[in-house]
Structure formats: C-alpha cells, structure tokens
Amino acid sequence: MRVAKPGVSTAEADLSVSLSGEALAARAGESVAAALVAAGRYGCRTTRSGAARGVFCGMGVCAECAVTIDGVGGRLACLEKVRPGMSIEPDPPARRFAASAAAAGAAAAGAAGAAGPDEKAPLLEEEVRCEVLVVGAGPAGLAAAVAARRAGAGVVVVDERSGAGGQYFKQPAFAVEEEALDRQYRSGRQLIAAALASGARLVSGVRVWGQDGPGTLLGAAPDRRYVFRAEALVISSGAFERAVPFPGWTLPGVMTTGAAQTLLRSYLVAAGRRVLVSGNGPLNIQVAAELVAAGVEVVAVAELARLYHPGNARFLAQMALTGQRQLLDGSRYLATLRRAGVQVLGGHAVVEVAGDGRAQVATLAPIGPDGRALQRGKRRVEVDAVCLGFGFVPSSELARSLGCVADLDERSGALVVRRDRAGRTSVPGVLVAGDGGRIGGAEVARASGTLAGIAAAEVARRRAGRRTPGRPGSRERLTLAAGRRRAELQLRRDEAFQGALWGLFAAPRLVEQLAEAGTIVCRCEEVTLSELERAAEPWLAAAGPLKRATRAGMGKCQGRYCSPVVTALAARRAGVAAGRLSGFMPQAPFLPVPVGAIAEAAPAPMQTTSPVEGRTFPER
Ligand SMILES: Cc1cc2nc3c(=O)[nH]c(=O)nc-3n(C[C@H](O)[C@H](O)[C@H](O)COP(=O)(O)OP(=O)(O)OC[C@H]3O[C@@H](n4cnc5c(N)ncnc54)[C@H](O)[C@@H]3O)c2cc1C
Ligand code: FES
C-alpha cells in the first residue's frame, strides 16, 4: 500500500517492472522490496523445503528477500533499486552442492547475494588511502567524520547503502520539500550536509566484508572491489534487530519494525493495510504511530513491558530531566495511537502467525515473568503484516574479527565491544562508535561518534608524526576542546536518558520461550528448535560445535538471528551461564558480497577474544 508523508513527493508510479511475467507498477528510486510490498506481493525467495520467504530485516542482513533479477539470482530486493523493464522472479532454493563447474560458479554468485550488473565483467579495483576511515554513515559515522575533519584529519566514510544517514536518518528516495519534512529527516539532512561540507569523502554502496589487519579493510561494490588503508579506523556499523522465534515468524508479511519503517520513511510504502506491531521498545510505538498517521489500520501494539505500571513514574521523571524533546515525541506517538483507538497492550507479545503462504492471522498472548505465553487471555487478529521489534544487537563482527575484546551484556544478551569513553578498543587505532558498540539510540550514537572522530584524528596524527593543528591556546585548539566537552556532556545526558527509557521498557528477555518444537530457529538453514535441542549434547558446551552439528548459523545471515538461541541452548546444556559463551565467531565475508570480490583477496586469519576471560582463539 502506497501512502503519503508531509514534504515528500507522492508522484504516481512511473515505471513498470515484471514479477514472474506479470506487470507491476513501480516508482523510480524505490527498492524492489518496496515495489513488491506496495503491490501486496510479499514472497521473495523459496527455501529448500519449498516455503516462501519475504522481506524481513529490510537492511541487507537476513537475505530472505533474495530474488532473481534479469536472470541473476541472489539479489537482495531490499537493497536493489527498480529499473524500467526489470524482470523479477522469486529466488529458487539455494543449492548446497553444484553438479558442474558452471553450476558451481552460478551457485556461488547466488550465495554471495549482492551482485553486479554483469557477473562476467572483470571487477575494477580501487585502493583508497586515508588517515581516518569510518565504516558506516549513520549518526555515529557522520558525526565522527565531521569531528575528525575538524581535528585536521583526512577522512573517508564508507557505507553499503546508496545514501548516507544510516537507520535513524534514512532519507526519502523521492523529491522533497525541505521545510515540510519532519524533524528526523531534517536533522539527518543537516548532518549529511555537514559531513560533505567538512571535506570528508563519502564512498556509498560499498560493503566492507573483510580485513587484513586494522589498517586494511576490504570492500565490495557491484562493479569493483576496494582496499581501504587507514591510520585509524572508526567502526560505526550500527545494529540489526534481535530475533525472537515463534511459530509462523518466517511467513512473508512478518518483518522487523525497522524494515517497516524503512519502507515507510524511505519509500512511502506501508507494510500492509492491517498491521500488528509487537516487541519491546520505543521504536515500535513510533512506527505504529507513523503507520497510523499514514492511514494504515494498526490492529494493536503488543508491548512486552508494562508501561503504565505506577513504579515507572521515577523513570518518566528522569526522562523529563534528561531528554524532554524525546519524551514529548513519545507522548505524541502515544496520543496518535490513542486517538486512532489503537490499543497498546502491555505485557503482551505476538506468539503465533498463521496463513496460506503469508501472514493472515496473528495470535497475541499475555507474557509471564519467565517470558512464556500465558494460556488465558490469548486473542486472534486478522492481519496482512506483522512488525516485530524486540530490540537491537550491535553489528560487532568487524571489530571482533580485528581482535577487539568484547563482553556479553547480560541485559540484552548481545556481545558488546569493550571501549573507553572516546571509543578506543583493545586494538590500538580501532575505535567503535554508536550502536555498533552498544545500543544507545541516535543521540548517543552522534555524541559517541564525535568523541571517536576526535580520538581517531589524534591517533592518525601521532602515527603520521604530525603535530596537533594550531598553537596551544589558539582558536583552533580551543574550538576542538570545546567540541569534545560538548560531546562528553551530551553523551552523559543521552546515556542517562537511555537508562531511564529502558527502565520504563524493562521486560522479560525473550530468547526461545515462544518457540515450539517445530519452530524454525535458524531461518537460513531451516533448523528447528527440536533439532537444536537434540543436538545440544552437554559436551558440546559452545555455540560453534552446535552450529557444525546442525548447520544453524551457516546461512547467509551468518547466524545473526539464531545465535542467541543457539548460544543459550548450548550454555544451558553445558550447565554454564550464557555469558560464559561467546556465540558464533565472525567470519569473512561479514555480509553477502559478489564472489568475484573475494576470489583474489586473502583476508588475514582472524583473532577473536571471547568473553571467557583472557582466552583468545583463532577463527575457524
Ligand atoms: C532497521 C532499523 C531502523 C531503525 N529506526 C530507528 C528510528 O526510527 N528511530 C530511532 O530512534 N532509532 C532507530 N533505529 C535505531 C537507530 O538506528 C540507531 O540508534 C542509530 O541510527 C544508530 O546510529 P549508528 O550510526 O550507530 O548506526 P546506523 O544508523 O545503523 O548506521 C550504520 C551504517 O553502517 C552501515 N554499515 C554497517 N556495516 C557495514 C559494512 N560492513 N560495510 C559498509 N557499511 C556498513 C549501515 O548500512 C548503516 O548505514 C533503527 C535501527 C535499525 C536497525
Ligand atoms: S530483507 Fe533484504 S536482506 Fe533482509
């Protein structure tokens, strides 16, 4: 369903693509995923068992939206833009073993996911040298670039997306009327403009997929491969959504709240006409309100936390002290939902989605303190889309592969890279900022990006044997010091706000409590909970062996979605706390890239330090 948004052009669909031979109207600038969802066509790839899968993450991580475009398989519909006359087919099941060399080549290209316009054309090569390399052009990366430039460093920012802004500041794909845009769009435009005006070079549409030590990163674009060489590295790779498996969560039409928001904010496409939003956290409420404002029927918001608990007054008071504007935004979203008669069901979650090849009926249930569904109070609602937002997991693969020490965060169950206030990790010259380090929202990301940018510029300067620009007491130095102080204060305030916010949204942490024996846990390899439980022998005692025994985590998403469940099962069977196990080790390529991009590049063997104290082991 196409919708309108203030300030964004709502021109009619102006080009035609074909889906399995049937003409489909599309808008220049939109993604293939947006064109499919706008037409109510949710199915993309077919799994080995014959099940249909559709857009899930909306950000190039899950590979569930793989389609065959103009004869080339494994293209990700959420990243690929429509072109006139484009032919789209659902992707057939991936082959595990190819029978001939030719088939092997085709399968490998498909498995790699993103691909170039002509697989046979040799890829161009580009080496990019800079003082500070920033990976990720979200709020953290852009702020880091601006700060590092101000501190006198030569900066390159690389991002896999076609435009800068990351998740929070993602921009509309169509013409805009600047003044009529909402504040989130406008602040993003200002930050992007500041980064460009600073003289930083922005390299878009390039995925960093590997490394050859902290100073050398490997990247891939559809038509070329990159080698980035830098004195200092700021990793601001953001986060992806945490998965909670339950029966029917793999059906087309069930997607993350972030995916629904990207469809809405970037492409003016609603996830569906009747949408259920379920999960934990403020983004669900924001997206539900934005859907309502766009004319979508939101059947309910099932929020795991009990927001209206009297004990929450202290969190609201802290939020009012530290983030009045965000608190007001939140109240406005809730008021929008109230006016539209949308219930926010505290202590509830979606526990099942059913339908004939796509989401049609969802079951909601109250959730007990142990995270299990209660039988009393279940209700069924008709839907055509379900949005899931159970919080975020930092994209820490690159940092961990470089050997940065990471710890398991007990509250979120995610690995977080150990770093100081400026983002310096255990590896000299490698800094981490924003949600890629610890989930803290866009404001924390921005402030931590500024501090990391300043610190990275210092590292680069030291390594190049250059002096700090300006004389002691000069305007240049005073401005730099003031910028650092402002960012430190901002970071403290924003972190305090986030602490109170997550106090308000405190809820049982869901891992596998909603899954049944036959529920798929690993979406890529279709491994069920019972298969994992059968394989989880106490002596395996780690996620890695369980992965090798079942193939869970071996698919294109690299275990990003099943890792918490697999790790929790392994820990439970081994009788150790989940925090003692490190989950899956990051493997290059971190994200799907064309096979040609990696064929001749040789990334270094990786060193990862696990949360098991002091134990470092090479990757396998
Ligand atoms: C799908 C999604 C939607 C969200 N929507 C909202 C929202 O509406 N409101 C809100 O308050 N918060 C939202 N969040 C959380 C919010 O994104 C963050 O708090 C904020 O954007 C973090 O900023 P960041 O710079 O750390 O990361 P991001 O904004 O995520 O930016 C990271 C960037 O790095 C790029 N990147 C990652 N890995 C690589 C790589 N290997 N190679 C090249 N590029 C790479 C990504 O494509 C991305 O552009 C969302 C998060 C997600 C995942
Ligand atoms: S929806 Fe495209 S990769 Fe996940």
Q: Tens digits of per-residue pLDDT, 453-484?
A: 999 999 999 888 887 777 888 888 888 889 89
Q: Quick one: which H or E segment has residue 38?
A: helix 32-38
pLDDT at 410 over 80: no
Answer yes or no: are the C-beta atoms of 301 and 348 closer than 8 Å. no
Q: Which of 306, 272, 522, 448 is nearest to 535 (CA)?
A: 522
Is the CB of 237 within 6 Å of ligand 1?
Answer: yes
pLDDT range class, residue 571, cuts 50, 70, 90: confident
616-618 vs 124-135, strand pairing mode: unpaired
- Has the ipTM of the complex gone over 0.90? yes
Across 543-549, average pLDDT:
86
Ligand 2 centre to CA of 62 (Å) is 5
Helix axes 313-322, 475-504, angle to 10 degrees: 160
Q: Which of 514, 444, 59 is nearest to 280 (CA)?
A: 514
pLDDT at 99 over 90: no
Best-predicted range by mean pLDDT (95-104, 220-229, 300-309): 300-309
Across 218-244, average pLDDT:
94
Q: Quick one: which H or E segment has residue 281?
A: none
Task: Give the C-alpha separation, 70 to 90, whole Å.
Answer: 11
Answer yes or no: are the C-beta atoms of 201 and 157 closer than 8 Å. yes
- Whole-number pLDDT of residue 14: 83
- Whole-number pLDDT of residue 10: 74
- Whole-number pLDDT of residue 95: 65
Nearest ligand to the C-alpha atom of residue 262? 1
Which atom of ligand 1 is closest in space to residue 440's alpha carbon? 19
Q: Which of 461, 460, 462, 452 is nearest to 483 (CA)?
A: 452
Is the CB of 238 within 6 Å of ligand 1?
Answer: yes
Q: Which of 158, 159, 168 to mutate to test the pocket of ligand 1 (most atoms within 8 A of CB)?
A: 168
**Nearest protein Cα to ligand 2, atom 3:** 60
* More confidently predicted of 420 and 572: 420
pLDDT range class, residue 619, cuts 50, 70, 90: very low
- Give the pair of three-digit tokens for residue 142: 């852009």
- Give the pair of three-digit tokens for residue 17: 């693509």
Q: What is the pTM of this model?
A: 0.90
- Whole-number pLDDT of residue 580: 65
- Whole-number pLDDT of residue 505: 96
- Whole-number pLDDT of residue 96: 57
% of the chain exceeding 90 in pLDDT:
69
Nearest ligand to the C-alpha atom of residue 217? 1
What length does the chain have? Answer: 620
Which atom of ligand 1 is closest in space to residue 139's alpha carbon? 25
In sequence order, the β-bridge partners of residue 367 are: 373
- Whole-number pLDDT of residue 475: 84
pLDDT digit string (tens) for 332-379?
999 999 999 999 999 999 999 999 999 999 999 999 999 999 999 999
Across 301-327, average pLDDT:
93
